Chains A and B, each alone.
Chain A
Amino acid sequence: MRSYTSNSDAPPAADTAPRMTLRRRTVHALVALAVIFLVAEALCRFGAPRWVAIEAGREQEYRAAIAAAPPGAASAKRALIMGNSLLNEGVNLKSLRMQISDDINLQRVMIEDTRYFDWLYGTKKLLADGARPDLVILVNSPDQFIASTLRGDYTAYRMMRFRDVFAAGRRLSLSNTQMADLALSNLSAALGQRTNVRRRVMLAINPKLREMMPLLTARPEPQIAIADAVEVARQRLLEMQSVAAAYNARFILIIPPIADKTAPALTDAITEAGQQAGVTVLVPVHPTQLDRDDYADGYHLNAIGAKIFTDHLAEQLRNLAHDKTNPATP
């Protein structure tokens, strides 16, 4: 080992030939590192959306959302429905589309493990990128809607505009390092997707992780007083409404049921916040209306639960579309 602990003697002088070799070695090592990074960047940016099914699906949904209004009934409203795995597992999209096709033309954007702030900035980006829905619909559980976290690198990469990164950082009291990392993740696909890549590689190496991960990712129950939850939700509903209104759209929050002790009270709190803010909050199925048997894992609905929820949601959306008192109704 070259280093020492107790003196500052200069290392012995190397002669010129080994120095050149070392310089070449260093250059080769640095070039190797740069090439690996560039290959990773290219694979994540151009390869993943084509070859990785989940990424391809997200890319397709995003492009469809920002494209011109898809074909549908002439009088149908264009709606953008956004959410996470609760939307994916709890809403049978095909069935919902069929049930409301005369009134609403639905376009979905789904990204797992996302919450309020992910979608606040995600909505801004979607609208700025060209999405022009009449209705902006967010599907979030009560705890997700009042949570003050970001998914992280992936949100920065896929769901944020560069200028929103710093606003988000200030709002969430992120450190300078966290903020800068978000900014770099916004620019680099390799950095933005590193958590996803890692998850896939780890599961491929150790399939038993699939059993273990739910233990580690168990959600802590939200620790918030109901009065505070009402106020936080009211402000967030107003904020989302103003983002949507800037593009002549109307914001709707849909609260899906989850089997959580705090869910009923928080669902009621957010409904109350919606009434106070004048923003529509739909609760197609209250958490108290479902049994444990309607859930796949205590959080996501199973096929039976999803059918109940989808049918109720379709009915409420149809009613909403026919509600002539609503300024956004055609």
Chain B
Amino acid sequence: MLFDSPIYFVFLTLVVLVYWQLDTRQKKLFLLAGSYFFYGWWDWRFLGLIALSTIVDFYCAHLIVRSDDAGTRRRWLIVSLALNLGFLGYFKYCGFFVDSLAHLLTGMGVENPNLPLLNILLPPGISFYTFQAVAYIVDVYDRRLKPADSLTDYALFISLFPHLIAGPIQRPDHLLPQVQTPRRFDAEQFHNGVMLIVWGLFRKCVIADNCAMLADGAFSGKFGPPSIVVLAIGAYAFAWQIYGDFSGYSMIARGSANLLGYDFMVNFRQPYLATSLQDFWRRWHISLSTWLRDYLYIRLGGNRGTNIQTNRNLFLTMAIGGLWHGANWTYVVWGALHGIGLMIGRAILPNSDAGPSAASSWLQRYRLFGDTLGDWLKRLAVFHFVCLAWVFFRAANVQSAVEFLSGIAVWHWRPQFAGALILLAMFSLPLFAIDLLNERRQEEYPFEKAEHVWQVPSVAAVFAAIALVAGSGANAFIYFQF
């Protein structure tokens, strides 16, 4: 069930209506059944996989806690990690590695390497629930978390439907206590949930789906061969598409959770207003970036070693983070580019403490929308670096991405580009303006803290926009494929 499909809202309405009539235990069982139904709706064949992974992790966590012997604890940790990462590796990466090996052997002169052709179906949401399960078992192993007493609680923590398919990846210490304590109807939370869903739909259906039309056209060559205009249309359109798509998804997920009395972590905070790449990763897909920081970067050594070691850790974390997105070298290059960008950022930023130069003091003097010109220049630089990296994320393969980028040196204008650029402005500028407003007012959606008289008309206007200019419903959420 896609979050922007009418059937999801039929499902959500029924679940919410029944859910609040039940007692605590019934609520959990009902929600668990609803979540498994939601997952099975995607593909019932993988229900066994998520159930098996849940049961094994639940008992592994208890076996870890029960033992004081370091070796035994470590063994159960390895069993759990091997199972989770084994499933992820098999279903998501097996075909990719076999394919890459075949390419490598062919490149080395081996004719017909004769490797098996694997066509493995990817279970929906496996990347997300695997990371959540790994976080749980590692936290229990590190004695930072008490394991769930009840299998129902743990199963609900893993499978709660609003986050099941594409996150936000929930931290055990945030979500598990909520699962374990009775959920009481909270008018504020419910109201927030409705608002988040409507604004999330706006981001997905109005912004992302309309930008998708342009990005798809540019990347598929329908606008003609690569040129600087086609590159600009494709890269900018995809930048706003993926942002509207995933932030919209995250808002609908958080809103749906709020309707059920749960709170999910915020996943986006105006990422295109970041003034450095480091800042960008504090604002973009926060649930993944903090997971990678806590369970990968810090475990690799973080910034505790030499400068070279820290840079290596940064690069590895981002490259692996890239690979997490999908079994394609394009994602690895995308992650690696961000890793290199972060390394360069680390090298440059400390020098800025040396005191403002004449140019920078001039840039600090003038202000635009409350921020200095210097901040806006940094934002512009970060945004364009991010857009450049998105080309690799979006392209079918690395070669296509390089060819697409080669258009930067080609000028070619067609009259049809005017319509495309107007469309791009129509759908990117509103989200940019919303982000500015949210940043200024420290809100998650416009008028979050405003008076009643502003909220209802704003939500009605947004809903009307969804009804009138929502893009094609044929675009699934981008992150659902991961």
Binds A, one of B50-58, B331-339, B395-403, B469-477: B469-477
Please state if A6 and B460 are interface contacts (CB–CB under 8 Å). Answer: no
Is the pair A36, B452 in contact by a Cβ cutoff of 8 Å? no
With A1-B444, A5-B265, A206-B423: A181-B286 Cβ-Cβ less than 8 Å: no
**1/0 contact string of A159-192 vs chain B (CB within 8 Å):** 0000000000000000111001100110010110
Inter-chain contacts of A208 with B (CB < 8 A): 418-419, 422
Q: How far is the CA of A236 from the CA of B256 in the complex (A)?
A: 44
Binds B, one of A64-72, A125-133, A196-204: A196-204
Residues in chain B near residue A14, CB distance under 8 A:
187-188
Report the nearest A residue to B198, measured CB to CB. Answer: A33
**Given the complex of chains A and B, what is the CA–CA distance between A153 and B216 in angstroms?**
21
User: Using Cβ atoms and an 8 Å threshold, which residues of chain B touch A205?
Assistant: 426, 469
* Per-residue interface assignment for chain A, residues 1 to 40, with 1 indicating a CB less than 8 Å from any chain B CB and 0 otherwise: 1111111100100100011111111101110110011001
B174 touches A7 (CB 8 A): yes
Query: Is the pair B419, A184 in contact by a Cβ cutoff of 8 Å?
Result: no
B183-200 vs A: 1/0 string, CB under 8 Å? 000111111101100100
With a CB–CB cut-off of 8 A, which chain A residues contact B254? Answer: 3
Which A-chain residue is minimally distant from B468 (CB atoms)?
A201
Q: Which of B1-9, B24-32, B320-328 contacts A (4 or more CB under 8 A)?
A: B1-9
Interchain CA distance A194-B426 in the complex, whole Å: 19
A22 to B188, alpha carbons, bound, how many Å? Answer: 6
Which residue from A26, A188, A195 sits with its C-beta under 8 Å from B472? A195
Asked if B345 is an interface residue, CB under 8 A from chain A, the answer is no
- Chain A 211-227, CB-CB to B under 8 Å as 1, else 0, gives 11101101000000000
Judging by beta carbons under 8 Å apart, are B198 and A25 in contact? no
Chain A hits for B92, CB < 8 A? none
A7's nearest neighbour on chain B, judged by CB, is B174
5 extra A-B contacts, CB within 8 A, seeds A25-B452, A36-B467: A152-B473, A180-B6, A185-B6, A198-B471, A212-B416
* Selected A-B contacts with CB under 8 Å, 10 pairs: A3-B444, A23-B187, A25-B456, A36-B463, A153-B473, A176-B1, A177-B1, A198-B470, A206-B423, A208-B418
> B188–A19 contact, CB under 8 A?
yes
Contact indicator A6/B171 (Cβ below 8 Å) = yes
A22 to B178, CA, bound (A): 22
Contacts of B290 in A (CB 8 A): 5
With A and B bound together, what is the CA distance between A78 and B442 in angstroms? 68
Which chain A residue shows the least CB distance to B416? A212
Q: A-facing mask of B428-471, CB < 8 A → 1, else 0?
A: 00000000000000111000100010011001100110011111
Q: Which residue of B lies closest to A207 (CB)?
A: B419
Cβ–Cβ contact B6 & A181, under 8 A: yes
Q: Which residue numbers of B lie inside 8 Å of A, CB to CB?
A: 1-2, 5-8, 10, 41-42, 171, 173-175, 177-178, 186-192, 194-195, 198, 213, 216-217, 222-223, 254, 263-266, 286-287, 290, 415-420, 422-423, 426, 442-444, 448, 452, 455-456, 459-460, 463-464, 467-474
List of A residues within 8 angstroms of B417 by Cβ: 212
Partner of A36, one of B264, B266, B464: B464
Contacts of B266 in A (CB 8 A): 1, 3-5
Does the CB pair A29–B455 fall under 8 Å?
Answer: yes
Q: With A25-B456, A181-B473 in contact, is A40–B415 under 8 Å at CB? A: no
Q: Is the CB of B459 within 8 A of A3?
A: no
Question: Judging by beta carbons under 8 Å apart, are A30 and B187 in contact?
Answer: no
- Judge whether A209 is part of the interface by a CB distance below 8 angstroms: yes
Instruction: Determine whether the beta carbon of A198 is less than 8 Å from that of B443.
Output: no
* From B1, B216, B442, residue with most partner A Cβ within 10 Å: B1
Using a CB–CB cutoff of 8 Å, the interface residues on chain A facing chain B are 1-8, 11, 14, 18-26, 28-30, 32-33, 36-37, 40, 152-153, 175-177, 180-181, 184-185, 188, 190-191, 194-195, 197-198, 201-202, 205-206, 208-213, 215-216, 218
Residues of A within 8 A of B473 (CB): 152-153, 181, 194-195
- State how many angstroms separate the Cβ of A303 from the closest Cβ of chain B: 25
- Chain B neighbourhood of A184, CB < 8 A: 6-7, 10
Write out the residue numbers on chain A whose beta carbons fall within 8 Å of the beta carbon of B8: 177
Cβ-defined contact, A36 with B460, below 8 A: yes
Q: By the criterion CB–CB under 8 Å, are B195 and A209 in contact?
A: no
Contact of B174 among A6, A24, A29, A213 (CB under 8 A): A6
Contact between chains at A194 and B470 (CB < 8 Å): yes
Question: Which of A3, A25, A176, A216 lies in contact with B191, CB distance below 8 A?
Answer: A25
Pick from B188, B455, B469: contact of A201, CB under 8 Å? B469
Task: Say yes or no: A3-B442 contact (C-beta < 8 A), given A11-B189, A28-B452, A33-B463.
Answer: no
Determine how close the nearest CB of chain A comes to the CB of B235; give it in whole angstroms.
Answer: 17
Which A residues are CB-close (under 8 A) to B186? Answer: 11
Distance between B298 CB and nearest chain A CB, rounded to angstroms: 14
Cα of A65 to Cα of B368 in the assembled complex, Å: 63
Are A216 and B217 touching (Cβ within 8 A)? Answer: yes
Which of B191, B223, B460, B472 is the one whose CB lies under 8 Å from A33? B460
A208 to chain B, nearest CB (A): 3
How near does chain A come to B434, taking the closest CB pair, in angstroms?
A: 14
Residues of B within 8 A of A176 (CB): 1, 41-42
Q: Which residue of B lies closest to A19 (CB)?
A: B187
- The CA of A18 and the CA of B188, in the complex, are separated in Å by 9
A208 to B418 Cα, complex, angstroms: 7
| CB–CB B174/A218 < 8 A | no
Asked if A3 contacts B265 (CB within 8 A), the reply is yes
CB distance from A192 to the nearest CB of B (A): 11
Report the minimal beta-carbon distance from B306 to chain A, rounded to whole angstroms: 29
Across the interface, do A26 and B191 meet the contact criterion of CB distance under 8 Å? yes
Interface centre among A18, A180, A190, A212 (most CB of B within 10 A): A212
Measured CA separation A263–B452 after assembly (Å)? 61
Contact assessment for A1 and B442 in the assembled complex, using a CB-CB cutoff below 8 Å: yes
Q: A33 vs B195: C-alpha distance in the bound complex, in angstroms?
A: 11
Query: Which residues from A are CB-within-8-Å of B463?
Result: 32-33, 36
Whether the pair A206, B455 counts as a contact (CB closer than 8 A) is no
Q: Closest residue to A197 on the B side, CB-wise?
A: B468
The residue that A177 contacts in the complex, of B5, B416, B468, with Cβ under 8 A, is B5
Residues from chain B with Cβ under 8 Å of A197 in the complex: 467-468
Contacts of A5 in B (CB 8 A): 171, 174, 265-266, 286-287, 290
Chain A residues with Cβ below 8 Å from B1 are 176-177, 180
In whole Å, how far is A324's beta carbon from the nearest beta carbon of chain B?
A: 49
Closest chain B residue to A13 by CB distance?
B186
Bound Cα distance from A215 to B286, whole angstroms: 37
Who on chain A is nearest to B1 by CB? A177
Nearest CB of A to B272, in Å: 18
